[in-house]
Amino acid sequence: MALVTSSLFLALSMILSSEGQDLLDPCLSSHRMQQLMDSESNLLKFLNQTFSDRAKLSGESHYEKLSRSASRFLAVLPENNNDVVDPLRTFLGIKRFLSYYGKFFTHKKDKDVFGAVQRSLEKQKMKYPDKASLGYSIDAILRLMTAYDLDFDGMENSSGVSLSSEDKKNIMQRAKEFGLEAKGSGNGKKFIEKKSRHQVTDTDMTKYNNLCRLSRHNSYTPDNRLSCSYAKGLSGLAVWKQEVLSRDPYIAVFYDVITKREATSIMNTGAKILEGSGVMGKNKTSLLHHRLSASSWLWDNHTDTTLNLSRRVEEITSLRTEFRDHGTLAEPFQIVNYGLGGHYFPHMDYHLQHVIDAQYGVLENSGDRLATFMYYLSDVKEGGATVFPELSVAIFPVKLSAVFWYNFKIDGERDTRTLHGACPVMGGQKWIATKWIRQLSGGLSSTCELSETPPPFFR
């Protein structure tokens, strides 16, 4: 027993822990979900061994039964690979933890075993999947079906697994609770949102959905590619592959602006401290429907890599990102790992004036979010584009590239056309690192230094 137990804990303890943080539901981060699925066979080996040892010791048939069940589940465990992070496989995985493995722990006598399993998941800062997790995974399926206009057939095709009719019944029940309209029958069943419950107009929501559908596969090429060129950076030493997607407001994608090693380093750093992402002014229940991801904040001084990546933002955008105690020029990097079907409905990056006025500490006097620079740290298998509904711009994430735009007009007005959202992730992992550059940084300023400071590359 000791051997298997220690191999379970060895596998799990490879992920560093830090104290005092809420445990994350695995559905909120596809990275955590991958870890959960990866530890499934270790978990079953541990249970099989523990229960068969107890059966030998006590002679109780209860333990023999449990051990045999664990062994049986182990034998039919789906093959694990890096593609397990997709909605249907995840749903089935959560269901196994909850319905089948959960049954192992219903007896009072086995509380200690459950405790051991819980603790090993806690080491990865994850909670044991519960009913809420199952709910999130069903919500993810529904969000993907509505966003990408897919029926059960389409979902099964994309995942390569089938749902039982009972699973589909459960999904349909949840759709009903959400007030989604069902269309079609059998495997051709689809769900439609009857009434938008979002804060943006129905027109913007329709455009968001259309852009998401267009850019679901990475074969998508934007038709609004205006020009591809080599752009000189601040120092004039380096040149960057720039693709301008909109001139006014200025939106551009830069390719190969971060190395694989840097991307891996920042994802690893972020993964250790992921927490459920919030949206300012929203409570936890409503944010789950507005935004589904896990994130962490890293100041430039966190590692050499964060410092170098922040300097690179300066180099590319010609906007300074220096940290200052009272009035920082830019925010720390926000590292985000999207969850299952993870998305972020259309929103603006800038705040309302009263929010800015109420900011204190390092953000005091730093102004609003002048510009957004977002590194794409991973390739996404399917879905997950960044889309601007009012501009018909869609950007499919390409690993090692970055997108940059101004949230303010040259005259210092907030630019409402920068409304943008993240399409739901259909398969694979989506990791981004965002740096918000504050107005204090200069560039376009709200204090009316008009036209003297046009966006870079137009000078």
Ligand X SMILES: *[C@@H]1O[C@H](CO)[C@@H](O)[C@H](O)[C@H]1NC(C)=O
Binding site for ligand X (CB under 6 A): 45, 48-49, 52, 71, 74-75, 153-154, 157, 283, 285-286, 299, 301-302, 304-305, 308
State which residue, 70 or 244, has the beta carbon closest to ligand X. Answer: 70
State which residue, 71 or 170, has the beta carbon closest to ligand X. Answer: 71
Residue among 125, 101, 131, 124 nearest 114 (CA): 101
Q: Which residue has the tokens 């034998």?
A: 75
Please state, in angstroms and rounded to a whole number, the distance separating the CA atoms of residues 395 and 222: 7
State which residue, 220 or 299, has the beta carbon closest to ligand X. Answer: 299
State which residue, 227 or 264, has the beta carbon closest to ligand X. Answer: 264
State which residue, 160 or 454, has the beta carbon closest to ligand X. Answer: 160
DSSP, collapsed to helix, strand or coil, labels residue 108 as helix
Residue 154 beta carbon to ligand X: minimum distance, rounded to whole angstroms: 4
State which residue, 283 or 447, has the beta carbon closest to ligand X. Answer: 283
Residue 197 beta carbon to ligand X: minimum distance, rounded to whole angstroms: 10
State which residue, 190 or 414, has the beta carbon closest to ligand X. Answer: 190
Residue 200 beta carbon to ligand X: minimum distance, rounded to whole angstroms: 16
* Burial 178-190, CB ≥16 within 10 A → b, else e: bebeeeeeeeebb
Residue 302 beta carbon to ligand X: minimum distance, rounded to whole angstroms: 6
Scanning 76-129, the segments in alpha helix (DSSP H) are 87-95, 111-123
State which residue, 164 or 301, has the beta carbon closest to ligand X. Answer: 301
Scanning 259-331, the segments in alpha helix (DSSP H) are 260-272, 284-290, 304-317
Residue 85 beta carbon to ligand X: minimum distance, rounded to whole angstroms: 21
Residue 74 beta carbon to ligand X: minimum distance, rounded to whole angstroms: 4
State which residue, 101 or 405, has the beta carbon closest to ligand X. Answer: 101
Residue 382 beta carbon to ligand X: minimum distance, rounded to whole angstroms: 13
Phi, psi of 336 (to 5 degrees): -120, 130
366 and 442 Cβ atoms separated by less than 8 Å: no
121 and 127 Cβ atoms separated by less than 8 Å: yes
Residue 225 beta carbon to ligand X: minimum distance, rounded to whole angstroms: 28
DSSP 206-272: HHHHHHHHHTSSTT---TT--EEEEEE-SSSS-EEEEEEEETTTTEEEEES-S-HHHHHHHHHHHHH
Q: Which residue has the tokens 């001084």?
A: 301
111-123 and 40-58 helices, crossing angle to 10° = 160
The alpha carbon torsion through 168, 170, 176, 182 (nearest 10 deg) reads 0
The helix or strand, by DSSP H or E, that contains position 375, with its residue range, turns out to be strand 369-376
Please state, in angstroms and rounded to a whole number, the distance separating the CA atoms of residues 343 and 192: 18
Residue 180 beta carbon to ligand X: minimum distance, rounded to whole angstroms: 18
